[in-house]
Chains A and B, each alone.
Chain A
């Protein structure tokens, strides 16, 4: 049990207002585009209009001649410095600027640098590129056809196949299927979508020839990893590189990869000796930066006729676009997709994934999903509903019947994950009670008699976050520990720095609350800094909901080291032995004599003015935390929808989200995360798709076509919690940022399918647009 601190101290469990808000509400945030350095110039990329074409010539003379233009860089220029290609975060390489050919529409072809951004844009229009069109491949199902063009000339193996990955016991699974009473199957596409944070990607690369240092202001969720990669790839000494991620306007995974624009800006700055700013437009962001999903999946469940699941079999085709730029741990080409076994207890499973190339934007990054966990959770929760439909069992009952029992934790899943803790039934019960499930089913029956369409969708998801233990996890070779450094000043205030980087998650408040909890120093007295690689300890950054599980743990551990030293100082000040001392947040006191006490502030002062002889002065600690395991947040979401029979429009009437993320630091911030993630899930389920026509023209390339939910479409989200702490985390927390995006798509889709299941509908692929629904209604003869 975690001792509750006073509201003034603001430790765990307090809904402290955020410390970072003051600058944002005054318009004084410092985002990358707000950075203005003396002598700064602007970069603009020239991009390919073709999805697949040979680069015949690039004529930069007219561009260079425009007054105000300082440089025009092409792939050939970069090739001379061995920089035309750069490694991706997953064993592939990606063109920085195209040489030879282009592989997706909007691919980077040249970089123009000019005195101001308008001139740079003008000059980019003047770059004349001659292309020779080549046949285009946009259907991943055709990538392996012998008649399809081979996209990657640069690879030794001339094929569009990137990887094959499998896990589980194929034999046992096939056997279980052979002997099964019932088999259910769903073919589900998790469509290509895009995180679209409101701030696009960009940087200011500032090479100072006088000092030899390169400072890069960067929209980066992982500043240290980026610094190391710039050093390795660019051959610049790492101590001469400083990456600063100032305020970031949303990341959601979009700001984890290194993009060609960054590299071009760095090269330009090194060449010109001036700061070079490159900020992409929204269209560039949607068309060329890390997309998400594009998983074409098939799941089969084998079950007994009373609904006990026996086995799961999954086959997935992963479309990675032109380069495999997926950002995920190196041993996992399909990320943590194998958590697709879900919240259910059964002995056998087999999962295989094949990755292929197409003429589309590169990537496959985690969009608020801890490396493919959205795809996994969506798949199993859809499959379970399909099974329920097949067996004619209520979907809540089917889930309850198959949930992993609390006594079984830590639970080893059939695909090899050890779930740390879980208690799925109470979370589902809370959600069902809160939404009034039984009454809703009655209402649905009545409405069906009248020909009205309403549906209830359940999603009981299990997340897997907090990557990760060094024995299994690394990104580009760097282990996935994280860090915290705390320094307490003489007057009892402190500063702490972490290897993570908030893009809105409230770290300046939540980390301070962890320190407040551990040391009893008011959160208001703790300054939190992240994102400057010169000062922050090394970390792998913030994505995959890993900050609280890993860096939060490091914060607690560092604080505990400080407490250990504080105890020694207290014993010195109180002239007793350490064994005589008791701790309560904020002070040590002598057992049995509470009046003999020293506050942490007094101890801090003493650390600099009266420390015991033989002990180092000061009061600080660093911790690099290697998590022993991942954490497994979970929950049940219930969605109620009504469908308009005239227009096919789906209205979300209610959405109840019960999350279990273990012990919570700041409930207000957790709820905010849930609201935001559910809204992203709403967009994905009903509105979003990045599609390509047969010529490789991108069809979701701007906000005209790629739709984000506004306040009008977004329903009121009802949230609640259960609490099943993580047994291995220093304060039992699990992380929650991504759960709502992981768990909600299935809830939305299950609800719509449930509304139409009596008409024989088994599955509808996202995005579930009114047109799609209306077409189904027409087909079934029920359009009004």
Chain B
């Protein structure tokens, strides 16, 4: 077993540090060391996207990164979407448009959609479908997720971007 290393990661705005094995996956770091269990593991071949988080502004699949690779970076997980007790427009959108059923893919979907809207604040349906194509869902058939993202885009256009 390799020697543990110290990692410093800014998580949802807070500085966090821990000693970790080099082989510790980022997703396990998030779920077990940071105890943020919103990010989920849904597969073992980096296909499903349930583990999607935003690292230094880009979406990454946290099951395919080591925690040590995120040393010195800024990490945003689903738990970081709410601000001052208010839901992010995307979270509102998922609720208003019935964009979730079992909820397991939802955090990953939210993070991918978040990154999509940062890049493209007026996405059409095709843009959205491509934007979430790295996130698998078994329950919703994606249709209402598309509507949820459209809702959020609309809200953010009115009330200023977040």
Contact = CB atoms under 8 A, between A and B. Distances in A.
Interface of A: 17-18, 20-29, 31, 33-34, 36, 117-118, 195-200, 247-250, 252, 281-283, 503-506, 668-669, 671-680, 702-704, 708, 710-712, 714, 716-717
Contact of B142 (A117, A252, A714): A714
A26 B82 contact: yes
A710 B133 CA distance: 5
A674 B94 CA distance: 18
A117 B24 CA distance: 10
A683 to B, nearest CB: 9
Given A198-B137, A672-B144, A716-B143, A24 B106 contact: yes
6 contacts: A27-B77, A29-B103, A198-B137, A282-B43, A668-B98, A702-B43
Contacts of A31: 37, 40, 104
Contacts of A248: 102
A25 B91 contact: yes
B155 interface: no
B78 interface: yes
Interface string B21-42: 1011000100110011111111
Contacts of A671: 98
A218 B129 CA distance: 33
A717 B143 contact: yes
A25 B47 contact: no
Contact of A702 (B45, B100, B103, B145): B45
A26 B38 contact: yes
B110 A18 contact: no
B24 A504 contact: no
B28 to A, nearest CB: 8
Interface residues of B, number: 59
Contacts of A36: 32, 35
Contacts of B103: 20-21, 23-25, 29, 247, 249, 504
B71 interface: no
Interface in B111-159: 125, 128-130, 132-146
Nearest to B24: A118
Q: DSSP majority for the B interface?
A: loop
Contacts of B128: 711
Interface in B28-79: 28, 31-32, 35-45, 47-48, 50, 77-79
A198 B102 contact: yes
Contacts of A678: 141
A506 B40 contact: no
Given A118-B23, A197-B102, A711 B132 contact: yes
B138 A252 contact: yes
Contacts of A674: 141
Nearest to A29: B103
A769 to B, nearest CB: 18
A118 B135 CA distance: 26
A654 to B, nearest CB: 14
Nearest to A21: B95
B18 to A, nearest CB: 14
B91, B130, B145: residue with the most chain A Cβ atoms closer than 10 Å: B91
B87 interface: yes
B85 to A, nearest CB: 11
